[in-house]
Structure 1
Amino acid sequence: MVALVMVLGLHSFSNFSYAEEAHPEHAAAALSGEEKHSEEGESKKIDIKEVLFGHISDAHDWHLFDLGEHTPVVIPLPVIMYSPAHGVTAFMSSRFEHGHQPYAGYQLVNAHYRAEKGLDEAAYPNNKVIAVDDNGMPTNEKVYDLSMTKNITSMLIAAILLTWIMLTVAKAYKTRGAKKAPKGLQSLIEPVIIFMRDEVVKPNIPGHRSAKYTPFILTVFFFILINNLLGLLPGSANVTGNIAVTAALALISFMATMFSTNKHFWGHIFNPPAPFGVKLILAPVELIGVFTKPISLMIRLFANILAGHIIILSIISLVFIFGSMNRGIGYGFMPVSIAFNLVMMMLELLVAFIQAFIFANLTAVFIGQAMEGAHHEDGHHH
């Protein structure tokens, strides 16, 4: 349940990030090393920026792969738009025909549409759905995109997987009992849960309060981990490499920390134990630190996951860059690219676990720091 609530909280944030070029056939051709020829007969060079950002960005459909040059295999996703003038409009993204056709007064922006209408990329980024008139020109009407994008769909899959895993483990305990040795999925998940509880939650969150926060910290850890691992699969979504998603996760961590504060914590922020002259400098610094902690969580997770994906895609793209210059060089570099990518994939697998652990561990640390003074209270109680 916590995972599903987390997804709903992330939904609105993820719609601020815009997606890949709505020309999957162009990206496929770039990755295959084939050059496009315009009507004038001029060849276009491989657009590495289009390839990279097309694979790491969000989208209104789920592009899996291509059968040939002009046959993309795409899963359409629900487009849900709201405008004060027209209310709620819902339809499948296939109605846009990859951005070539408007539908119900809306248009999916891509490079083809911008070139046709002479629009600026900064004002009309790729995969943004805008309101248009009968001639297909932007009306600049205020619209709200509530669509189930690729990242949102992937997060729902991760939430369902997390719920299924935990219910399966709970059922195993209920059936077999806690005294029997764990088997199957139970034996895989139990050591992780025990480690997170005993090495992350209990050392950082004082006293009996640790039991209260253990489910939350475990949910954060497993939710990020599953999304990290899903992001390594071919054709998958780059969820935790999207700063809108990591910002929402950091906001959830920040809210949990703020709900855990007490008078001792705020007393230390606004009245630090220092000479009066130093207090005037230290108090603003401490207050700023309250907000920079979740920002560091956001940037750390986003940057590490995104960087790994970009490196892997860049190494793959080198094969086709060399192949476009000389087919022999392209084939010759292929074994080197495969070897580098195997190493990078193993490293990314390790990073997926490390970044999930760091986010959950620092969240527990921040919550424990917000309970400053609780250590002394527990000591007096004992």
Structure 2
Amino acid sequence: MESGTEQPGDETEPKKVDIKETIFGHVKDAHDWHLFELGETHVTVPLPVIIYNPVRGTSVFTSSAFHHGHEAHDGYRLVTPHYRAEKGLDAAKYPTDEIIAVDGNDNPTGEKIYDLSITKNITSMIIAAVLLIVLMLNVAKAYKVRGSKKAPKGFQSLMEPVIIFMRDEVVKPNIPGKSAAKFTPFILTIFFFILINNLLGLLPGSANVTGNLAVTAALGIISFVAILLSTNKHFWGHIFNPPVPFGVKIILVPVELIGIFTKPISLIIRLFANILAGHIIILSIICLVFIFGSLNKIAGYSFLPVTVLFNIVMMMLELLVAFIQAFIFANLTAVFIGQAMEGAHDEAHH
């Protein structure tokens, strides 16, 4: 952990709160873990930076070497709004917190580099994965010691109803036959991994993991692969040769093919949009204090109780959303897997 202060002379005017930068700075990924600020002092946890350059090779160092974006290190620099404005760079081409290659004069070289760093979101996912493994191993150990016939105790009594509910109300009704038992660990892993990340994201100073499109896309791709591996000849026969007149097939086959890809895309967008929107709303309500305070100090302090009240309500709502979105992702994954397995029975169901 390190503390850093803004260098003098960086700004000629008094520092103003950039609402847009404040909100998106909290919800996007970063190369260090920013905890809080005390005046001009930034308290952060440096994270490993791993850069592969086809010309220079691999560079490994910690993000503290960038000194909060004020200095370059080993021919690389962390883009900040100040650096971008100083060099007159395009914001679309050089987004904030992106690492770029620079020359001896601190100017971008345009070299192609591959950022393999352990970022804030990756670190949070590792923490969530460790928590998931530890929690599940403790539950498994309790079953091994006490047996399945005895009433659960402690943490086991908290987890057992959730596990049984997911197995009996989500997996078994949607995935037929013996395949239900095979896919139960997969569905439970998805549910608890998303839930833990959703809950960690509500803590102050935490990472917005499930509100990151790359993370939800990875989860969606995993579900997509599981769905494809569950398909059979009846499923593909229904896609490419649906039981409709030939003229309708010309229209229906492309629609069915598109539907294969829209299912995981709906999982990706739904989780990403709901979690990100909740975080942005909470941060926007907090920023209203600074907006009113910039107009009038009394107005800022007067609006503070309203902000606290609204945020308590929003945090309670986000706590509910954390459970709902984890359940919806796991439930729809089970539904899509079951649909892929029961292609032969579609007509009977209709």
TM-score interval, normalised by the smaller of the two chains: over 0.9
Q: Does residue 159 of structure 1 match 2:113?
A: no
> SS of the residue aligned with 1:127?
coil
Quick one: distance in 2 between partners of 1:142 and 1:346? 44
Structure 1 residues 194 and 374: CA distance shift in structure 2, 3 A: farther
Q: Give the match for residue 50 of structure 1.
A: 21
Residues 211-250 of structure 1 aligned to structure 2 (within 5 Å):
211-250=181-220
Quick one: distance in 1 between partners of 2:278 and 2:315? 9
Q: Give the match for residue 274 of structure 1.
A: 244
Query: Deviation string for 1:138-191 (max 9, x for gaps)?
Result: 111111000000000000000000000000001111111111111111011110
Q: Is the 8 A contact 1:271 1:279 kept in 2?
A: yes
Structure 1 residues 25 and 48: CA distance shift in structure 2, 3 A: farther
Quick one: distance in 2 between partners of 1:38 and 1:118? 16
Q: Give the match for residue 83 of structure 2.
A: 113
Q: Give the match for residue 297 of structure 1.
A: 267
Q: Give the match for residue 329 of structure 2.
A: 359
> SS of the residue aligned with 1:273?
coil
How many residues align? The count is: 341
Code of the residue aligned with 1:167 in structure 2: it is L
Deviation at 1:115, TM superposition (A): 1.7
Give the superposed CA RMSD.
Answer: 1.6
Equivalent residue for 1:327, pick from 272, 297, 307? 297
Q: Does residue 347 of structure 1 match 2:312?
A: no
Q: Which runs of no fewer than 5 residues in structure 1 stay unpaired?
A: 1-23, 27-35, 377-382
Q: Give the match for residue 62 of structure 1.
A: 33
Q: Report percent identity of matched pairs.
A: 74
Q: Does residue 80 of structure 1 match 2:50?
A: yes
Deviation at 1:372, TM superposition (A): 2.0
Q: Does residue 196 of structure 1 match 2:166?
A: yes
> SS of the residue aligned with 1:74?
strand
Q: Give the match for residue 90 of structure 1.
A: 60
Code of the residue aligned with 1:183 in structure 2: it is K
Q: Give the match for residue 209 of structure 1.
A: 179
Quick one: distance in 2 between partners of 1:134 and 1:349? 49
Q: Does residue 99 of structure 1 match 2:69?
A: yes
Query: Deviation string for 1:287-336 (max 9, x for gaps)?
Result: 00000111111110000000100111111111111112111111111111
Query: Deviation string for 1:357-380 (max 9, x for gaps)?
Result: 00000000111111124769xxxx
Equivalent residue for 1:135, pick from 92, 97, 105? 105
Quick one: distance in 1 between partners of 2:56 and 2:236? 47
**Normalising by the residue count of structure 1, what TM-score does the alignment of the two structures yield?**
0.87
Q: Which runs of no fewer than 5 residues in structure 2 stay unpaired?
A: none
> SS of the residue aligned with 2:208?
coil
> SS of the residue aligned with 2:36?
strand
Stretch of structure 1 that moved more, 289-298 or 44-53 = 44-53
Equivalent residue for 1:337, pick from 307, 313, 328? 307
